[in-house]
Amino acid sequence: MVPLRTKLLAGLAVIVLYGFWMIQLALSLPASELQFSQQGDQLLAAGADAAPRPVEAMLIGGTALPARAVLVIEEPDVLPAYSDINQVFAEHTQLLQALEAGTLWVRYQDGSEQQLHPVARGLMQLPAMFWLQLLCGLAGMVICMLVWVPGERNLATRSFAFSGLGYLLASSTAAVYSTRELFIDGDLFRVLSGFNHCGAMLFSAAVSAFLWSYPRRAPSVWIPLALYAGFVSCMTLDQLQLTASPVEGFHLWVIGVFMIGLSGAVWQWRQTRNSAADRSAFRWVLLSIIAGTVFFSAGMILPAILQVAVPHAQGPLLATFLLMYAGMALGVTRYRLFELERWWFSIWSWLLGGLAVLLTDLALASLLTLSGPTVLAASVALVGWVYFPVRQFIWGRLTVRRQRGLDTWLSQALPVMLQAQRSDQADSAVEQALLAVFQPLRVERLGRKAQHPQVVDNGDALQVPGPSGEGDYVLLHAEQGRRLFTRQDVQLARLVLSLDNLVLHSLTARVEGATEERNRIRQDIHDDLGAKLLQLLHTASGDSRQLVREAIRDLRELLHNMDGHEVRLDVAASRWQEETANRCQASGVTLHWQQILGEQSLSAGQFSHLTRVLREAVSNALRHATPTELRVQLNQQGDVTLQLRVENDGVALAETGTSGRGLQIMQARARQLGGELQHGCVQQRWWLELQVPIGPPDTPAAD
């Protein structure tokens, strides 16, 4: 396979060589001492410093050739008949041969005569209209080449490329013969005019086929083929002159085929009515084509067909075709025409940058009247110190859009992703990161699962696979609708997914590391502290033995909580009731236990905190009061709230109106559970009530 840059360089080289050939062809046409022009039907001639004078005849070896104004006409096909065109070609042959033989004289209307001699033309003598037509044709062909080479091989891109070829043929050949200094070989004139007709008709057929093929394919492949068949038929009629007038043999064919293309535009308009992206792209294409063709059609083709007015100057009208190609170039970035990306303009920068350097060197070499080495040194210095900085500044201000770097999007994506992961909202982490990076107008979820991020709807949307498998994210209109999605955004989306995966693995590794460390500590506590407590249990007696048993029980609960296993609410209540009943029995206090519970489960952290709150509440009642009874109520309110209420008589603590260390600890545990702790005294009874949320969220175990 040939690399893309090699293909582009080869195509550019062919176009440049063709341009040099046209320049050489224009320089091969001779001039004379006089400048010829027309005023109405009168041929005028002017010397270097003299005013134009009316010419009566051109004398060829003593034979007078009428000095007709049509001899300097820019475009011969505006004449009413092919016979008139052939006569112009024949007279130009006679004039050129006489000039080269030294037998050509000019007779003015005042009777004076002047002999003409051939004068070679240089680059500076080529008129501005020559350069305008040639450069516009070359630029149009370069644009088409940059679309055709990297683009898809379909009828639309081929037709667009053919239109550029037609435009180049029409404008470059017209640049040669329309800017002649009167003298040109008739046969060469005929050939150049024929290629001009070929290019114009090819342009009309190709643009019409393009309108039938983009953005939707034509309903039948025979429609574009019929348009190209019309091109072949027109060229046959025109070049063989099978009709009397170029109106029937050429002009009507050009305008007729183009009208068929406009009917294709109507068809495309109807076909894209349900697709906003295709409709917007086609609207841009249609406006570009109309802007590039309306001036030439109104100023050249229609006057030639109707024969009611003198056609306008051909050079500026041909140059307006470049508006169409410039519009297409802008459409590449705005609507991704031909499925091309923004790197298309980087190719333009590379090509035009090199061309500008060459032109700058040529201009400096032409303007500076210095020796060769001095000119070379001056041009290198000016290009390096002046041209390159100015070019980069202008290019950066006008065309280069600042791209967000890696540090920018990392600062946008990483914080929201970490926050979502830490909040147990892993599924929304990617969505939050995508919102931060791309700033779309809207995000939708689709049921289907894409394998990789991809740009859809001609850049209006970016489809990103969801990490949970529940569906894809579809981001609509990047940066609040200010731009389209590109392939660079696909790479960014992949980085976002990779970053989410990395964050998830990091958090998982952190949890796994904490679990391993907790298990190690648990094992050490079990092996060391457990063994010592068992030894104390065997050696202790009386009250000390009971304290050791309670310490062993607390140690077992601590180790169980460190395992992180959930505990069913009814199982937890049974443990709490058993412990509280034993403590009340040991203190001679009557326990009244009431519970209304569901099948909800508590996390290890919730169980640990609730156990310690209840234990501290019972301890306060037994330690700071002289109760005769203790009431404990456990009520589950729905599936989300658990209410724990402890009451006792003998309100020694309530009488003081102070809160001790135990209440402060219980308040802290209530906050860690996300609940609320209240207490008070009613009718000489102390009460404490805790309401906490229960459910899936895990609460860290108490220290």
Mean pLDDT, contiguous 10-residue spans, the chain (703 residues):
75 92 95 89 86 92 88 89 94 93 91 91 89 90 83 83 92 93 94 95 93 88 93 95 93 92 90 77 80 74 68 69 74 52 54 59 56 59 66 56 51 63 60 79 76 77 76 80 76 79 74 73 68 68 66 65 73 88 88 88 84 88 86 87 90 55 85 89 86 65 44
* Exposure letters 410-420 (e unless 16+ CB within 10 A, then b): eebbbebbeeb
Q: Does residue 135 lie in a domain region?
A: no
Decide if 206 contacts 162 (C-beta within 8 A). Answer: yes
Residue in the structure block whose two tokens are 């024969």:
307
d(CA 336, CA 329): 10
How many structural domains does the chain have? Answer: 3
**Residue 331, domain member (yes or no):** no
Query: 398, 430, 452 — which closes off a domain?
Result: 398
Q: Say whether both 578 and 668 belong to one domain.
A: yes
Which amino acid makes up residue 205?
A: A
Pairwise CA distance, residues 44 & 51, whole Å? 9
Residue 184 lies in a domain: no
Does residue 484 lie within any of the structural domains?
A: yes
Q: 637 and 598 share a domain?
A: yes
Residues 455, 571 share a domain = no
* End residue of a domain, out of 497, 514, 544: 497
Give the Cα-Cα-Cα angle 512, 513, 515 (nearest 5 degrees): 65
Supply φ then ψ for residue 628, to 5 degrees: -105, -20
From the CB of residue 200, how many other CB atoms can be counted at a distance below 10 Å? 28
Long-range contacts, 186-190 (Cβ 8 Å, 24+): 186/88, 186/89, 186/90, 186/91, 186/92, 186/93, 186/96, 187/89, 187/93, 189/76, 189/88, 189/89, 189/92, 190/89
Residue 341 lies in a domain: no
In this prediction the pTM is: 0.57
> Do both 602 and 682 map to the same domain?
yes
Distance CA 518, CA 525 (A): 10
- CATH of residue 674's domain is 3.30.565.10
User: H or E stretch including 42?
Assistant: strand 42-46
Question: Is 393 in the same domain as 464?
Answer: no
Per-residue pLDDT, 556: 64
Residues 360 and 442 in one domain: no
For residues 606 and 654, membership in a common domain is answered with yes
pLDDT at 26: 95
Residue at 319 is within a domain? no
Domain identity same for 684 and 571: yes
**Is residue 375 located within the same domain as residue 472?**
no
* Same-domain check for residues 581 and 466: no
Q: What integer pLDDT is reported at residue 395 of this predicted model?
A: 56
Q: Which of the listed residues 339, 364, 398 is the one where a domain comes to its end?
A: 398
Q: Are residues 386 and 417 in the same domain?
A: no
**CA–CA separation, 25 vs 18, rounded Å?**
10
Q: What count of other Cβ atoms lies within 10 Å of the Cβ of residue 149?
A: 18
Q: List all residues 6 or more positions away from 340 whose beta carbon is below 8 Å from its beta carbon.
A: 147, 150, 151, 332
Determine the structural domain holding residue 577 and report its residue range: 566-693
Q: Which residue has the tokens 């190690």?
A: 520
